[in-house]
Amino acid sequence: MTVSKDNYYNPFGQDLTQVTRRLTEFGPRRQSEHADTFRVVGGLNGILPFGWSWDAALIYGRTDWTNVNTGNIWKSRLQAAVGPTTQTVDPVTGKVTKVSCATGDAACVPLNLFGGSGSMTPAMAKYLSFSGVGSIENQLTSVQLNTAGELPVTLLADRPLALAVGYEYRFEQGSDTPDPLTASGESSGNNRSATTGHFFTNEVYAELSIPIINHVPGVENLEATASARIFDYNTFGTDWTYKLGARYTPVSDITFRGTYSTAYRAPTIAELFAGAYDNFPTISDPCSDLSNASADLKKACAANGVSNPAGSGQTDTQLRSQNGGNPKLKPETAKTYTFGAVIEPSMVKNLSFTVDYYHIDITNAISAQGAGFILSQCYPSAGNSNPAACALVTRDASGFIDRISDLNVNVGGTKTAGVDISARYSIPTEEYGRFGFGVDGNFLQYYDVIQPDGTIIHGRGNYDIGQLNNGLQGVYPTFKGIASVVWGLGGFGAGGTLHYIGNIKQCAATDGTSTGGVCYDNPLHMERDVGAYATVDAFLSYGFKSTAGTTSLAVGVNNLFDAAPRTIYGALTPNSDPTAYDYMGRFFYVRLGQRL
């Protein structure tokens, strides 16, 4: 955008190519959504010879969203409003009585950017504002056939082997049609292109349960399981996964269990086909000021679009990146193993504990690389520049970064491990009803993201703007958990749930003065504690049976004490993490259910 020297409201008498002002007169940017969801399920089942059973199901679902965006600006109209103007002068007083756009458009209202608070009139705001209406549509069609039964094979247990086999056909399609101004790049908001795509798959599976031995001294029960699934995607071809498991109960009070499995996740329609859309991560141009830069950084900047030895001079703290789908993506694959125990002490009825260790290793993980990571690869402070990364950075004629292409790719992978715990206890009473207590928690050992160049981003307990914010989304505390209590008597019920997210640390940049950087790579970093976060939910319910079936009514409130999200400076949406913290605030609801 250029503010013309011939614009009546430009007091400087020259063209201005970089002007920044927060247009508070236009009000906040808002997005409202309306969704209609339709789902139908039909099924049949029956009995086969030798005690086997079968079932079949047809599932169809569709969701249609309409979204309305307000608070953004029509860009071409903005350029017209700050472009050259013509003035009507009163011949008697010599005063300007009317200012018009030189484009000749009678609807155009010149914009006063430099007049201070109150200089922008409602007419100016109305000319530049628009209401954008877009739509999103998702469909799923699935056909399932299953059969299960016992095999005429028994080992040393008192029950035979059991087998389940089945087939599934699944077809998914979706589309996203943004409003015309957003799709054409005319919106001051995050522009995005239309999305459309589909895929289908045919899958068969088999699951085998193998009772080995039971009810002997030292072995109350020992069993194994094995399963496999073969799938054929029209987009990715054929592959398979499997899972092996075992359970050992030496005495009735305790059971040990473990699994080893492989996994396969095909990219979603959005990951494959999403149209390009804008994002503005909190990063800055490494070549902005080269006065104290290393020789390697100066060399990389000069070779990749920055002709001025002093630097590009770009002072933006949020740069434009373009995210979107990539039809060349490969599926994610993973290997997982778990082992743990279930404790149900016979001396205390209705009490149980579980503890499980898990380890997950994902390869070909699907993610955007992150604009910060791309810039660090193209413009390293030490070492050679990566040409592949530089090809993703586009600068304009002045040397400013215009955009960073950050489409979905198969990055190096993700590794995570931790311990899940759970406890349940109930107290049944005849007079006062039944009380139930539950606790679930997760202790995170590590959460590491491996970038394409082998760089490892350690996510547990850290939130780093810049490289980490782009390469690893979300908050990963060392501990998080849920505790609940419920009560029921007759048809009445009540309960409450506590959600807890442990504290993390946010790290400053290498210079120690601003957000951004990597905590564990910067020994001189400054950091701030992002405190623990807790919310409480509560509900009351009543249910009764009649000739019409079972009717239930519940009223409740989420986030009872209206806890505000934790502040993470520099993070988007705004200054926090919507994937971890509650943005709705205190929320009341009423739910009516009917079961025939």
DSSP 282-330: S---TTS--TT--HHHHHHHHHTT---TT------SS--EEE---TT--
Quick check: 330 and 296 in contact, CB under 8 A?
no
Quick check: 56 and 44 in contact, CB under 8 A?
yes
At 469, is the pLDDT very low, low, confident or very high (cuts 50, 70, 90)?
A: very low
pLDDT at residue 528 in the model: 80
- 456 half-sphere exposure, CB direction, 13 A CA radius: 9
Name beta bridge partners: 207: 164, 227
| pLDDT of 514 higher than 50 | no
R_g over Cα of the chain: 30
Quick check: 253 and 345 in contact, CB under 8 A?
yes
Q: Cα-flanking dihedrals φ and ψ of residue 560, to 5°?
A: -55, -40
pLDDT at residue 524 in the model: 57
- Residues 425-464: pLDDT tens digits? 999 998 999 999 999 999 999 998 887 777 777 788 877 6
In single-letter form, the type of residue at position 411 comes to V
Tokens found for residue 500: 């807890």
pTM, two decimal places: 0.79
How far apart CA 473 and CA 462 sit, in angstroms, is 11
Instruction: Determine whether 113 is exposed, middle or buried from the number of CB atoms within 10 Å of its CB (0-12, 13-18, 19+).
Output: buried
- Residues 58-112: pLDDT tens digits? 999 999 999 999 989 999 999 999 999 999 998 888 899 999 999 988 899 999 9
In single-letter form, the type of residue at position 322 comes to Q
Q: Which 8-state DSSP code applies to residue 276?
A: P
Give the helix/strand (H/E) hosting 116.
Answer: none
The ranges assigned to domains in the chain are 284-317+371-405
- Residues 127-139: pLDDT tens digits? 999 999 999 999 9
Other Cβ atoms less than 10 A from the Cβ of 527: the count is: 16
Quick check: 264 and 332 in contact, CB under 8 A?
yes
Highest mean pLDDT of the ranges 46-55, 85-94, 462-471, 540-549? 46-55
Tokens found for residue 356: 């499980």
Average model confidence (pLDDT) for the chain? 90
pLDDT at residue 423 in the model: 98
At 522, is the pLDDT very low, low, confident or very high (cuts 50, 70, 90)?
A: low
Cα–Cα distances (Å) from 22 to 88, 183, 260, 278, 313, in that order, read 30, 23, 54, 19, 21
- Residues 354-403: pLDDT tens digits? 999 999 999 998 888 888 888 888 998 888 899 999 999 999 988 999 99
